[in-house]
Structure 1
Amino acid sequence: MTRAFLSALRGLSALLLAALILVTVTDVVGRYILNAPLPGAFELTQILLALLVFAALPLTTARREHVEVDLMAHVLTPRLIRAFGIFAALVTAAALAFFAVRLGIVAGDQAATGARSAALGLPMAAIAGVGVASCAVSAAIALAGARNP
């Protein structure tokens, strides 16, 4: 992935995190001080959090920062550790590709039915589409990582 693309994702992630903070602070102040909570705050928080996860997924994959457990790394040879690294990257790529396909099916269903969020009426297919793109890009990154462990 290009540096510009990853940099754009970092910026987008920061904006989404700032939006989450702003929504939460606005809702809390409105709810407890002004007795007027932000309408749809819970739903907006859920959607922003999902978008944040999807924006950060390719970054996490590119930096190889997914959770790993290396209970036996100290007793394995460097060659075996490398082989397990390749295997893990391939499994990660396969899982992310599977998620992209399944989310694509969900997005298609949501687009066909015109599904919208309950409180704000936001189109759910668009949010699922972001997930599809994120998982597909992350799968490609993981696959590239299998070639260069």
Structure 2
Amino acid sequence: MTATSKKTNAGWISKIRPVMTYVLGSACLLAMFALIGLTCVDVVARYVFNSPVTGAYELTELLLATLIFLALPLTTAAGEHIEVELLDGMKSRVLKRLGTFIAGVCTITIFALIAMELIEHADKLQRREQVTDSLEIPLFIIGWLGAVSFAVSAVAAAVFSYNRFRKGA
């Protein structure tokens, strides 16, 4: 790989990352505000007017799932997942790099497998026209969001792992 192609690859990633961070971060913010607003309105309506928001429980479940799926790629790209550093005490740089490589491969593989399972599940939900109980919101939307989230997270894990491995950590 030439120096020019390395710069091009790094340039592409450095351009898309802030855009994805902004889009996903803004979507997380909207989901969080929707959760806060829904909870506040539901509590006031329930205790002041004795008339809770219809489907508030369902909407809360869906918004929480949405928030988690939107935040997963951001967490992965930032390398903010919980880690257990088993090889930290080792002096051997080779073993540390091997551990970093194995951890990266495992993370990418698990995210990719979950994405594939969610694709299959979302497709099944869509074909069966599954909806929520009271508001009848189609469930396949959350399934596809989860599938895309895990796929993007697998790519983010690959980029993060590559950068970490290259630095020798």
With the shorter chain as reference, the TM-score category is over 0.9
Number of residue pairs the alignment of both structures matches: 149
Code of the aligned partner of 2:127: A
Asked if 1:137 corresponds to 2:162, the answer is no
Between structure 1 and structure 2, the one with the greater Rg is 2
Give the alignment's TM-score, normalised by structure 2: 0.83
Aligned to 2:9: none
Q: What are the residue-to-residue correspondences of 1:19-30 with 2, within 5 Å?
A: 19-30=34-45
Aligned to 2:94: 79
Identity over the aligned pairs, expressed in percent?
Answer: 36
Q: Among residues 125, 140, 151, which one is paired with 1:125 in the alignment?
A: 140
Structure 1 residue 71: Cα displacement: 4.3
Stretches of structure 1 that go unaligned for 5 or more consecutive residues are none
Asked if 1:50 corresponds to 2:65, the answer is yes
Structure 1 residue 76: Cα displacement: 4.1
Stretches of structure 2 that go unaligned for 5 or more consecutive residues are 1-12, 165-169
Bigger relative contact order, structure 1 or 2 (CA pairs below 8 A, ≥6 apart) = 1
Distance in structure 2 (CA, Å) of the matches to 1:8 and 1:141 = 15
Distance in structure 2 (CA, Å) of the matches to 1:71 and 1:144 = 22
Q: Among residues 6, 9, 13, which one is paired with 2:28 in the alignment?
A: 13
Give the alignment's TM-score, normalised by structure 1: 0.93
Code of the aligned partner of 2:47: Y
Aligned to 2:49: 34
Q: Among residues 91, 95, 99, which one is paired with 2:106 in the alignment?
A: 91
Distance in structure 2 (CA, Å) of the matches to 1:88 and 1:71 = 11
Asked if 1:63 corresponds to 2:78, the answer is yes
Structure 1 residue 47: Cα displacement: 0.3
Query: What is the aligned-residue RMSD (CA, Å)?
Result: 1.3
